[in-house]
C-alpha cells in the first residue's frame, strides 16, 4: 500500500516521490493507493499550499502517471483532497490506461467540483470493471443522480455503491 499524506510531504519530496513512483518495483508491486490531505489546522496554517492542494497539484500529476503505468493496482482512495476540475479528465484517462484491475475507487470528504468531477469521471468509470465505488461526504447534489444511474446501468459488476453526504 502506498499512503501519501501531505502532512509529511514537502515540495522537495515531490521530486523524490516522482522518481520512486516511476521505478519498476513500485509499478509492479503496489496494489493500493490512499491519498490523504491533512485536516490538522496547525499543519494547514504552516503550509497552506501543500503537495495536495489545487494550487500545487504536482504530486497529483505524478500520481496519475503512476496509475497509468501501474501493473497490479486494485484500489485508489482520496481523502480530503480537493482535486482540481481540470485534473479529473487526466485522472480518468489514467484509470483507463492502468494495467492493473481497479476494483475499488473511493472519495471521502473530497470536493469533487459540485458534481462536475463526477460528470467528467463517469465515462471513464463506465469502462472499468469496478466492484466498489464510494463517495462519502463529497457534497454531491441531485445533479449527480443521472451520472450515478449511468454508472449503475453500465457497470453491472459494482457490488457496493457508497454515497453518504
CA distances from 57 to 54, 82, 108 (A): 6, 10, 18
Burial grade of 96 (CB within 10 A; 0-12, 13-18, 19 or more): middle
Q: Sorting pLDDT into bands at 50, 70 and 90, what band is 45? A: low
Query: Which grid cell is 32?
Result: 493500493
Lowest-pLDDT range, 39-53, 83-97, 132-146? 39-53
What 3 state SS string does 42-71 have?
Answer: HHHHHCCCCCCCCCCCHHHHHHHHHHHHCC
Residue 49: predicted pLDDT: 59
Sheet of strand 2-5, all strands in order from the earlier edge strand to the far edge: 2-5, 32-36, 75-79, 104-108, 132-136, 160-164
Q: Collapsing DSSP states into helix, strand and coil, what is residue 29?
A: helix
Give the rounded percent of residues in the chain with a pLDDT score beyond 70. 87
Q: What is the per-residue pLDDT across 7-33, written as a single tens digit (0 to 9) for each?
A: 677 777 888 888 898 899 999 999 999
Give 2-164's CATH code, choosing from 3.40.50.720, 1.20.120.530, 3.80.10.10, 3.60.15.10.
3.80.10.10
Domain ranges of the chain: 2-164
CA distances from 40 to 36, 75, 115, 154 (A): 12, 25, 26, 39
Give pTM, 2 decimals.
0.88
The strand ranges marked E within 12-85 are: 32-36, 75-79
**How far, rounded to the nearest angstrom, does the alpha carbon of residue 100 sit from its chain's CA centroid?**
15
Amino acid at each position: 500500500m502506498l499512503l501519501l499524506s501531505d502532512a509529511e510531504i514537502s515540495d522537495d519530496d515531490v521530486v523524490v516521490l516522482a522518481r520512486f513512483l516511476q521505478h519498476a518495483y513500485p509499478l509492479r508491486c503496489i496494489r493500493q493507493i490512499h491519498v490523504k490531505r491533512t485536516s490538522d489546522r496547525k499543519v494547514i496554517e504552516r503550509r497552506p499550499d501543500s503537495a495536495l492542494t489545487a494550487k500545487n497539484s504536482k504530486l497529483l500529476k505524478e500520481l496519475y502517471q503512476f496509475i497509468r503505468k501501474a501493473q497490479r493496482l486494485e484500489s485508489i482512495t482520496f481523502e480530503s483532497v480537493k482535486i482540481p476540475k481540470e485534473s479529473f479528465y487526466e485522472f480518468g484517462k489514467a484509470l483507463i490506461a492502468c494495467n492493473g484491475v481497479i476494483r475499488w475507487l473511493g472519495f471521502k470528504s473530497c470536493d469533487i467540483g459540485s458534481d462536475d468531477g463526477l460528470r467528467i469521471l463517469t465515462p471513464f468509470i463506465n469502462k472499468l470493471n469496478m466492484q466498489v465505488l464510494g463517495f462519502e461526504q463529497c457534497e454531491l447534489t441531485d445533479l449527480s443522480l443521472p451520472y450515478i444511474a449511468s454508472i449503475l446501468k453500465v457497470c453491472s459488476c459494482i457490488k457496493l455503491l457508497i454515497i453518504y453526504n
